[in-house]
Structure 1
Amino acid sequence: MTTVTKTDVVVLGAGAAGMICAVEAGRRGRSVTVIDHARAPGEKIRISGGGRCNFTNLYCKPANFLSSNRHFAISALTSFTQQDFIDRVKAHGIAYHEKTLGQLFCDGSAREIITMLTDDMAEAGARLELATTITGISQIAAGFEVRTSAGTFHAQRLVVATGGKSIPKMGATGLGYEIARQFGHDVTETRAGLVPFTWASNMHESWGALSGVSLDVHAACNGAAFDEAMLFTHRGLSGPAMLQVSSYWREGDTVTIDLAPAIDVAAHIKAERQVRPKASVWTVLADVLPKRLAHQFSTDTGAVAPRLADLSNDEIDRIVTGIRTFEVVPGGTEGYRTAEVTLGGVDTAGIDQKTMGSRLVPGLHFIGEVVDVTGHLGGHNFQWAWSSGVAAGRSV
C-alpha cells in the first residue's frame, strides 16, 4: 500500500528559489515538504562563483533582466530586495565582499549560504526529501498529488522550483516545463544563456591560437552592450563580456567588440609615428593590446605599410576602426553544457507577478529559473531566485 503524506505545501526543487520559498512558507505556519532528486540541497549554489557564491548584486534592478514581459519581475524584486537578502546573510554571520560591479561573494565558501537556508528551513519546520524521484503529478480535490520514489504526497499548494536546463551534469532537466505544459501553461522558447561563444570555421584555426589572451572590452549585440573582460579560448570567446552578450545573441548575428575602449589608439599611433617612425604599426599596437593579439591582427590583415612613417592618417584610422569595431559572427555557443542560465521558460502571461501563482490552476506556483525571467551575470539570477521564492512563500 502506498504511503500518503499530507502537507500544506510541496516545493519541487531544493535550489535557491525552492529553499527560500520553503523558509517563508514554514515561517507562516505552513507544513512544507521540499523534494529534490539530488543527494544534497543547493548544488548550483555550491559551485557558483568559483565556490564562493555570487549571491546577489548591490545594483540589481529590473533592467538587469530579460523576459517576454520586461515589467513582470518588478513586483517580486521590489518586495524582497538585495538588501533584504544581505540582511539575512549578515544575521547569520556570513562574511562577504564586493568584487566588481556590485557583485557580492562569500569570503569563505558557498556552502555557508546553503547552510543558512537549510538551517532556516529546519527552524521553520520544513521537511527535506532528497534523492527522491518524481514519478507523477496530478490535481486532486484537496489540491495536488505528487508521486515519488519516497511515497505519495498530497498538498494544497504546489510550487515548481525545478530550474532550467543549464549544466545538465548537475542534474538539470526540463521537468518544470513539462509540469507547466501539463497544467495548460505556455512555455516560451528556451535556449542557453550566459554561455561562451564558439568560433565559426573561418576563424577557428587562426584566432583559436590566441587561447588564454584576455582584455577589457566593450561588447555589443542587438542593442545590448557591456564593459567587462573578454577571454580568447581554443574554442571561441568567453569571459564576462561575452557571457553577457550571449543572452542577446541569435544564430547568425554579429557581435561588435571594441578591443581598446579606454584608449585613444589613433592618437597613440600618430604620436609614436613622430617618436619612432621606423617602427611597425603592429609593434606599436602591442603597447595598447596584448602582444599576441596585436600580432594576430598583423597576420590577419597584413601591414598597410612597413613603417609608421609611411602610414597616412587615413590608413591609421582604418587600422584603428578594425580594432574599435572588431566584428565576430560566432559559429554558435557551448550550449547548456556550460551555460549559467536558461533563457525563456514558463510564460509570465500565465503567472501572477505578486504571488508567482498560476492564473490557470489555483494553488500552483512557479519560481526561479523555470520562469521566463533571466538576469544578467553577476548575482542577478540569484536575486531573482530569492525574490520570486519569497513572493511565493508568502502566499502559498
Structure 2
Amino acid sequence: MNAESFDAIVLGAGAAGMMCAATAGGRGKRVLLVDHADEPGKKILISGGGRCNFTNIHIAADRYISGNPHFAKSALGRYTPQDFLGLVERYGIAWHEKTLGQLFCDGSARQIVEMMVQECVKAGVTAMLARTVSAISHRDGRFVVMIGGREYTAPALVLATGGPSIPKLGATGFAYDVARQFGLSIVHPRPALVPLTLGPDEALFRSLSGVSADVEVRWEKARFREAALFTHRGLSGPAMLQISSYWQHRTPIYVNFLPGSETGWTIQEKQAQPRATLKRILAGRLPARLADTLTERLGLEGDLGNLPDKVLRAAEAQLTGWAFTPTGTEGFAKAEVTAGGISTNGLSSRTMMAARVPGLYAIGEAVDVTGWLGGYNFQWAWASGRAAGEAV
C-alpha cells in the first residue's frame, strides 16, 4: 500500500486545528488537515449567536481552569488577542467590543471561518473534509493515519478534535481515545459553561422561566457578576454558565440578587418608607415576578415598619447570599465547552507536544484548559494552535 507523506497531520478543522495547520503550512511544512464534518469550523459558526465572540481583550491565565494553572501562560503570552485582532483587521472584518472585553464580528461568524480557510489555502494546506479516521498507529518514527482505506503518514500528529460538548455538531471524545492509545493521561471530562438544573424543592424558581436579573453568583472563591436567567429546568444566563465550570456536585452556589446594595439597606428603607412592603421595595430593584417569588419564599408580609430590624437583617442576608443546590447540569448537549481532557502534565506548555511521545501534539479544547465565557476559549484555541504550528 502506497502511503502519502506529509510533514504534519492535523486532526480537527476547528479553530485550533485551522490555526495550527495555517501556521505550520506558512513555515513551508506540508500539512494535511482532516475532519469528519463536511465543512470546517462548525463550532465557530454557531458561537456568539452567529457573530463569533472570537477573543477577549482581558485574557489572563487565571481566567482558565486547568490541573496546572500555569500551563496556558506560555502560549497565551506568545499569541495575544491583539495578534488575532490584527489578522481579523487584515481581512477587513468589522468588529465591535461588547461587555467585559468581548470582541464580536459586526457581521457573521462565517467571516472568521472563511478567514481561517483562506489562511490554510495560502499556506498550501491539504484539507480532507467529511472523511473518517479508521486507525492510527506509529512506526519507524512516523504516525500512520488510515482514512478511507489509505495510509497517510507524518512525523507529527496534532490532536485538535475538541471534546464531547455539543454532540449535535459531531463532537466526540476521539482525541481522548487517541491520547490514551499513546499513553497520555486524561482528566475526567465534564460539561462546562452549561446551564444548571434545580430539583423539585426549587419548583417555585423554575416557575420564573424567562425572567432575567443582574446578580452576583459565587462558589467557593469563584465569583461572577452578570445576568442570570431562570429556565423551566433551572438556572442559566452568563453568570450561571460561568459558575458551572467551577461548581461541584452536591454543593451549593450562592446568589446575591442585589449586588451593589449597601449593607443595612432594609433598615434604611424601613425608616424612609415604614408603610411600604418588602415586596414593593424589591419590585423597584428586581423584575416583579422575581420580587414576588423571593418575598413569598422569605414569608415576610406586612409593612416594613411592623417588621423587627433583626428580621429585616436576616432577609437582607438571605437576599445577598441565597443558596441554591443544583441537582446537576444540562450535560454535554448544552455545554459550550468541555472541562478536563488531555492532561497538561504530559505536554510541553511551549510546543504542546507530548513529552513521552515525540511528534504527538494536543491543542484547543482537547486539552485540560477551559476558559471563562466570553472569547477566552477561542483565544486558547488560536494561541495553542499557533504554538503547535510553530513547533511541528
**TM-score bracket, shorter-length normalisation:** over 0.9
Q: CA deviation at 1:265?
A: 7.2
Cα offset, 1:202, TM superposition? 1.0
Shift of 1:271: 4.2
Please give the alpha-carbon distance, in whole angstroms, between the structure 1 residues aligned to 2:305 and 2:223. 36
Indicate which of 228, 231, 242 corresponds to 1:230. Answer: 228
Alignment of 1:146-225 (within 5 A): 146-149=145-148, 151-203=150-202, 205-225=203-223
Q: Specify the alignment match of 1:296 in structure 2.
A: 293
Work out the CA distance in 2 between the residues paired with 1:113 and 1:170: 18
Q: Which residue of 2 aligns with 1:281?
A: 278
Per the TM alignment, residue 28 of structure 1 is displaced from its structure 2 partner at its CA by 0.6
Q: Look up the match of 1:348.
A: 344
- Once the two structures are superposed, the pairs formed by residues 241-260 of structure 1 within 5 Å of their partners are 241-260=239-258
Residues in 1 aligned to 2:78 and 2:264: alpha-carbon distance in whole angstroms? 49
Between the aligned partners of 1:107 and 1:14, the Cα distance in structure 2 is 24
Looking at structure 2, the residues matched to 28 and 275 of structure 1 have their Cα atoms a distance apart, in angstroms, of 71
The one-letter amino acid of 1:250's match is: Q
349-358 or 281-290: which moved more?
Answer: 281-290
The equivalent residue for 1:310 is: 306
Q: How does 1:1-396 map to 2 (within 5 A)?
A: 4-149=3-148, 151-203=150-202, 205-264=203-262, 266-267=264-265, 269-303=266-300, 305-396=301-392
Q: What is the count of residue pairs matched by the alignment?
A: 392
Q: Which amino acid aligns with 2:385?
A: G
Deviations 1:298-352 (A, max 9, x none): 222312x411220122121111111101110001100101101111111111111
- Contact 1:17 1:161 (C-alpha < 8 Å) held by counterparts: yes
SS of the aligned residue for 2:155 comes to strand
Amino acid at match of 2:159: V
Q: Cα offset for 1:264?
A: 3.0
Call closer, same or farther: CA 1:265–1:209 in 2, change over 3 Å: farther
CA distance in 1, matches of 2:268, 2:144: 75
Segments of 5+ residues of structure 1 without an aligned counterpart are none
- Residues in 2 aligned to 1:132 and 1:323: alpha-carbon distance in whole angstroms: 54
Amino acid across the alignment from 1:278: R
Give the counterpart letter for 2:347 in structure 1.
Answer: I
Distance (whole Å) between structure 2 residues aligned to residue 3 and residue 94 of structure 1: 43
Q: Is the 8 A contact 2:267 2:313 kept in 1?
A: no
The 3-state SS of whatever aligns with 2:213 is: strand
**TM score, norm. by length of structure 2:** 0.97
Preserved contact between residue 36 and residue 129 of structure 2 (Cα < 8 Å): yes
RMSD over equivalenced CA pairs, Å: 1.3
2:213 is matched by which residue type in structure 1?
L
CA distance in 2, matches of 1:3, 1:241: 54
Q: In the aligned structure 2, how far is the partner of 1:117 from the partner of 1:279?
A: 59
Aligned residue identity for 1:154? T
Whole-angstrom distance in 1 between the partners of 2:268 and 2:186? 57
Partner of 1:345, secondary structure, is strand
Aligned-partner Cα distance in 2 for 1:358–1:273? 64
Question: Residues 198 and 331 of structure 1 are in contact (CA less than 8 Å); yes or no, is this contact kept in structure 2?
Answer: yes
Contact 2:298 2:315 in 1 (8 A): no
What TM-score do you get using the length of structure 1 for normalisation?
Answer: 0.97
Instruction: In structure 2, list runs of 5 or more residues that go unmatched.
Output: none
Give distance in 1, aligned partners of 2:55 and 2:282. Answer: 38
Report the Cα offset of residue 65 of structure 1: 0.5
Structure-2 separation of matches of 1:71 and 1:283? 49
Residue deviations 1:14-70 (CA, integer Å, cap 9, x gap): 000000000110011000010000000000000000000000000101111111011
Partner secondary structure for residue 6 of structure 2: strand
How many Å separate the matches in 1 of 2:51 and 2:148?
33
Aligned residue identity for 1:183: F
